[in-house]
Amino acid sequence: MDRIRIVGGTPLNGTIPISGAKNATLPLMIASLLTDDTLVLDNVPNLADVGLLKRILGNHGVDCMVKGKRASHNGHSGETVELSARAIIDTTAPYEMVSKMRASFWVVGPLIARMGQARVSLPGGCAIGTRPVDLFIDALESLGADIDIDGGYVVARAPNGLKGARISFPKVTVGATHVAMMAATLAQGESVIENAAREPEVADLAACLTKMGARISGAGTATIRIEGVPSLSGARHTVMPDRIETGTYAFAAAMTGGEVTLEGATPDIVKRPMEVLTEIGAEVTPTNEGIRIKRNGAGLKPIDISTEPFPGFPTDLQAQLMALVCRADGESHIRETIFENRFMHVQELARLGADIQLDGQVAKVTGVERLTGAEVMATDLRASVSLVIAGLAAEGETVINRVYHLDRGFERIEQKLGGCGATIERLSA
């Protein structure tokens, strides 16, 4: 198993290209199941989760072809992927596949909408809480599907098609919003999704579905309206930039000091994390290329914050923020409100000398003068990158085990950080 070795203490200086968003790419790829035409996606990041989803979609009969790369001046490239679900040969998504990545459960939406049936294993994915699927089931039942749970599978049937409905989510859920929206595009009549997730990835999916012929308004707000159409066509769509990758490298630059341009980053979708970074003591400047992050000499200030659905501070940046304030002058409080158990990085950060106490869903982080390198374990995707951030500022050598967690969501992390002067290398087993 690969490991990452970091020797900390060097400021980051240079340019980091921001890749296409993993959390937009996955639902966009899944949307290919809604049409027998070809969906072309540009700026697809080369990530383990994307590779896994290609295999899962392949199992349903989707042809996934990588059609080349778009190179920028510093060698960054996003792939162009053509997805063609001309014939769906299997409406079952088996346990061995869905258990590896929770988002693959989302195929249930397009499959039931287009095929009138789906049999999808209950998911696994990152071990960050129980992550139930009740709200997906409620939404699909509202749209007229019959649902049974049988042998660990969600079995959905709608032999006469789905019918438009009002779906009112009792809590904000990104995944169930994606699924309800995709399913409603092919339902008969109008659907309204209330308390919908406002995450930019929902708006990106809606933009692509609209190019495919769907009739959607309000995506990106709490109320989405969808007028069902009989069928969708192919389209070409460019995946939006990754706001979590943007925030992660911004926090890394603030942690080490230096000046880094996040090339291709979109300021609009990272407003709250950038406000937080400014409060902590970094300079954040939108530029023509993206966003510039700078911290020269000034200390880091502590912060009190809760994670929230968009436009609040994202849970996917909670671990990275925690790594950063490990070096702040004073006591920070970070409350996790989206997922229980999303504090697995705490004990690993402690191995590097961090002073963190957990009280239920609140982490109290008392800034320390210095972190020291150690061997640590990556436990989930975002937790593992918080260890990279801490390692970049720790004295001496940090070795991160179980790097496959990082590879699920961060493209070429060692090249991107190495290009800005960090001493970071992958040790292949």
Query: Using the rule CB under 6 A, is 129 a contact of ligand UD1?
Result: yes
Q: What are phi and psi of 147, to 5 degrees?
A: -125, 130
CB-wise, 10 or 246, nearer to ligand UD1?
246
Query: Using the rule CB under 6 A, is 176 a contact of ligand UD1?
Result: yes
DSSP per residue over 32-47, as a string?
GGG-SSEEEEEEE---
CB 115, CB 91: distance < 8 Å? yes
Query: Using the rule CB under 6 A, is 379 a contact of ligand UD1?
Result: no
Options 171, 236, 271, 370; binder of ligand UD1; rule CB under 6 A? 171
Query: Using the rule CB under 6 A, is 103 a contact of ligand UD1?
Result: yes
Options 56, 158, 174, 206; binder of ligand UD1; rule CB under 6 A? 174
Minimum Å gap between C-beta 96 and ligand UD1 is 19
Query: Using the rule CB under 6 A, is 20 a contact of ligand UD1?
Result: no
CB-wise, 259 or 407, nearer to ligand UD1?
407
Nearest Cα residue to 264 out of 45, 12, 1: 45
- Longest C-alpha distance within the chain, in Å? 66
Query: Using the rule CB under 6 A, is 51 a contact of ligand UD1?
Result: no
CA–CA distance, 128 with 110 (Å, rounded to integer) = 26
DSSP state of 420: T
Options 15, 30, 111, 136; binder of ligand UD1; rule CB under 6 A? 136
Active site residues: 126
Options 53, 62, 93, 135; binder of ligand UD1; rule CB under 6 A? 135
DSSP state of 190: E
CB-wise, 207 or 338, nearer to ligand UD1?
338
Tokens at residue 169, please?
Answer: 């989510």
Minimum Å gap between C-beta 395 and ligand UD1 is 32
Query: Using the rule CB under 6 A, is 339 a contact of ligand UD1?
Result: yes
Q: How many residues bind ligand UD1 (CB under 6 A)?
A: 21
Options 100, 102, 345, 405; binder of ligand UD1; rule CB under 6 A? 102
Instruction: Determine which helix (DSSP H) or strand (DSSP E) holds 270, and give its type and residue range.
Output: none
Q: If DSSP states are collapsed to H, E and C, what string results for 150-161?
A: ECCEEEEECCCC
Tokens at residue 258, please?
Answer: 């230096």
Query: Using the rule CB under 6 A, is 96 a contact of ligand UD1?
Result: no
Options 10, 32, 92, 173; binder of ligand UD1; rule CB under 6 A? 173
Q: Which residues pair with 363 in a beta bridge?
A: 334, 358
Query: Using the rule CB under 6 A, is 270 a contact of ligand UD1?
Result: no
Query: Using the rule CB under 6 A, is 175 a contact of ligand UD1?
Result: yes
Which amino acid is present at 1?
Answer: M
Query: Using the rule CB under 6 A, is 121 a contact of ligand UD1?
Result: no
Minimum Å gap between C-beta 26 and ligand UD1 is 5
CA–CA distance, 58 with 425 (Å, rounded to integer) = 33
Taking CB under 6 A as the binding criterion, the range among 61-69, 157-165, 166-174, 364-372 that sits at the site for ligand UD1 is: 166-174
Options 23, 32, 43, 261; binder of ligand UD1; rule CB under 6 A? 23
CA–CA distance, 45 with 42 (Å, rounded to integer) = 9
CB-wise, 173 or 398, nearer to ligand UD1?
173
CB-wise, 145 or 338, nearer to ligand UD1?
338
CA–CA distance, 16 with 152 (Å, rounded to integer) = 42
CB 315, CB 338: distance < 8 Å? yes
Angle at 46 between CA 174 and CA 83, to 5 degrees: 70
CB 265, CB 337: distance < 8 Å? no
Options 40, 133, 216, 293; binder of ligand UD1; rule CB under 6 A? 133
Query: Using the rule CB under 6 A, is 47 a contact of ligand UD1?
Result: no
DSSP state of 51: H
CB-wise, 339 or 373, nearer to ligand UD1?
339
Query: Using the rule CB under 6 A, is 198 a contact of ligand UD1?
Result: no
- Within 10 angstroms of residue 92's Cβ, the number of other Cβ atoms is 18
What is the bridge-based pairing of β-strands 235-238 and 283-286?
unpaired
- Residues within the interface to ligand UD1 (CB under 6 A): 23, 26, 102-103, 129, 131-136, 171, 173-176, 314-316, 338-339
